[in-house]
Amino acid sequence: MSRPTPLREVHESLGATLTDFAGWLMPLRYGSESAEHNAVRGAAGLFDLSHMGEIFVTGPAAADALDHALVGHLGALAPGRARYTMICAEDGGVLDDLIVYRLAEETFMVVANASNYPLVARELTQRAEPYDAVVEDRSDAYALIAVQGPRAQDILSGLTGADLPGLKYYAGLPGVVDGHEVLIARTGYTGEDGFELFVPAAEAVALWRALSEAGEPYGLRPAGLSARDTLRLEAGMPLYGNELTRELTPFDAGLGRVVKFDKPGDFVGRAALEPVRDVAPKRRLTGLAATGRRVPRHGYPVVLREDGTVVGEVTSGAPSQSLGRPIAMAYVDTTAPVDGLAVDIRGAREAVEVVELPFYRRNK
């Protein structure tokens, strides 16, 4: 049975289509997913992300524990800042991609994907055992609400005295929003500017309604999983289970930059990752844009247009509101030609063009 978020009653009152996602009952859309997508690109969208996991690592050696457990250098992270990183298995396979916030000198919050955070919590607990650090899964204590889009700062500014203009990208600060004590983070998964608000679960409904009211004059709309997926796809952002899996290393995914070999001490996965750091992967993550109207979907083969030889596989695909045609990310053989590719859509070879990622960049 799917687990509801603290905002379930709000979603039902808004007429949302609810669906199971990673064991959670989540809003897929509230009406038109294209309207929700376009609202985020042109004004702002309001998202329930309460299915994400919040795992705290605290103590005098919290930084050392995370430097051992994860591939990134978290000890170099200044309090108030955040970093994108990954947790890998001993063989280098990606167990999850994460955002880690350093809230204070000895306090870190690790935000993990919904499908993976129990595993991440277990792995962090085991890997931190030799260190003077405590790992605590506090996911049930929090709801996570995101305001994303070019008007996000205008909307949030009306509800808080926090220094939003001074808050840098991938940074967070404690603040009071409409009377609620929250962590305000300038992070997101849409390719737009915006904020993610970590709020006590019991206060989520009140905060959502306050944000909805404040955002109405700016064109704010609630947005579901469908819009979130097309937004992150346009922005070229990976999704665990699609572009990232247990069978792939960060280098396979073109994200080797997150692996920090120059940090002090050893880390889990280093022995497997170091030999492949300078080895070109056999497949590369590639952007594809369809020349027709049929949509390449996850799992569809990428083929040579001329003879149908399989040279890759689509990881994510959807119609793009910003580009006006279907787009996809796919792992494609590095030996495959740039021109002459197609996606096999139910037996038909639909022509695609290779496009540099990301498909969409916001105006800053």
The string of pLDDT tens digits covering residues 254-305 is 999 999 999 999 999 999 999 999 999 999 999 999 999 999 999 999 999 9
What is residue 110's predicted lDDT score, i.e. its pLDDT? 98
DSSP 174-229: EEEETTEEEEEE---SSSS-EEEEEEEGGGHHHHHHHHHHHHGGGTEEE--HHHHH
| C-alpha pair distances (Å), 222 with each of 15, 68, 178, 193 | 11, 39, 19, 16
Which string of b and e fits 344-353 if b means at least 16 CB within 10 Å? bbeeebbebe
| C-alpha pair distances (Å), 8 with each of 13, 164, 250 | 9, 29, 35
Domains belonging to the chain, first-starting first, are 3-50+141-234 (3.30.1360.120), 282-364 (2.40.30.110)
| Average pLDDT of span 110-126 | 97
C-alpha 304: how far from its chain's center?
Answer: 31
Residue 65's pLDDT band, with cuts at 50, 70 and 90, is very high
**Residues 285 and 315: beta-carbon distance below 8 Å:** yes
Instruction: Tell the residue number behind the tokens 């569809």, with chain if given.
Output: 300
How many percent of the chain have pLDDT more than 90?
99
**Residues 150 and 139: beta-carbon distance below 8 Å:** no
Query: DSSP 3-state assignment of 99?
Result: strand
Residue type, position 169, single letter: Y
How many percent of the chain have pLDDT more than 70?
100
C-alpha 265: how far from its chain's center?
Answer: 28
pLDDT at 363 over 90: no
- Among 157, 112, 140, smallest CA distance to 200 is for 140
**Residues 57 and 47: beta-carbon distance below 8 Å:** no
| Average pLDDT of span 208-222 | 98
Beta strands in the chain (DSSP E): 3-4, 17-21, 24-29, 44-48, 53-58, 82-88, 94-104, 107-112, 134-137, 142-148, 172-177, 180-185, 194-200, 220-222, 283-290, 301-304, 310-320, 325-333, 341-345, 348-355
Paired with 199 in beta bridges are 143
Tens digit of pLDDT for each residue in 306-315?
999 999 999 9
What is residue 197's predicted lDDT score, i.e. its pLDDT? 98
Sign of the C-alpha dihedral computed for residues 276, 281, 285 and 286 taken in this order: positive
Question: What is the rounded CA–CA span in Å between residue 139 and residue 48?
Answer: 14
What is residue 20's predicted lDDT score, i.e. its pLDDT? 97
What is residue 364's predicted lDDT score, i.e. its pLDDT? 74
DSSP 308-352: --EEEEEEEEEEETTTTEEEEEEEEETTS-SSSEEEEETTEEEEE
Question: What is the rounded CA–CA span in Å between residue 333 and residue 264?
Answer: 35
Q: Are strands 142-148 and 82-88 parallel, antiparallel or unpaired?
A: unpaired
What is residue 164's predicted lDDT score, i.e. its pLDDT? 98
Residue 358's pLDDT band, with cuts at 50, 70 and 90, is very high
C-alpha 17: how far from its chain's center?
Answer: 22
pLDDT at 1 over 90: no
What is residue 145's predicted lDDT score, i.e. its pLDDT? 99
pTM of the model: 0.97
Residues contacting 199, CB < 8 A, separation 6+:
142, 143, 144, 145, 177, 180, 182, 207
Mean pLDDT of the chain: 97
| Average pLDDT of span 104-111 | 98
**Residues 222 and 12: beta-carbon distance below 8 Å:** no
Q: Take residue 284 and report the two structure tokens written for it.
A: 């590369």
Question: What is the rounded CA–CA span in Å between residue 1 and residue 226?
Answer: 21
Tens digit of pLDDT for each residue in 145-193?
999 999 999 999 999 999 999 999 999 999 999 999 999 999 999 999 9
Residues contacting 216, CB < 8 A, separation 6+:
none
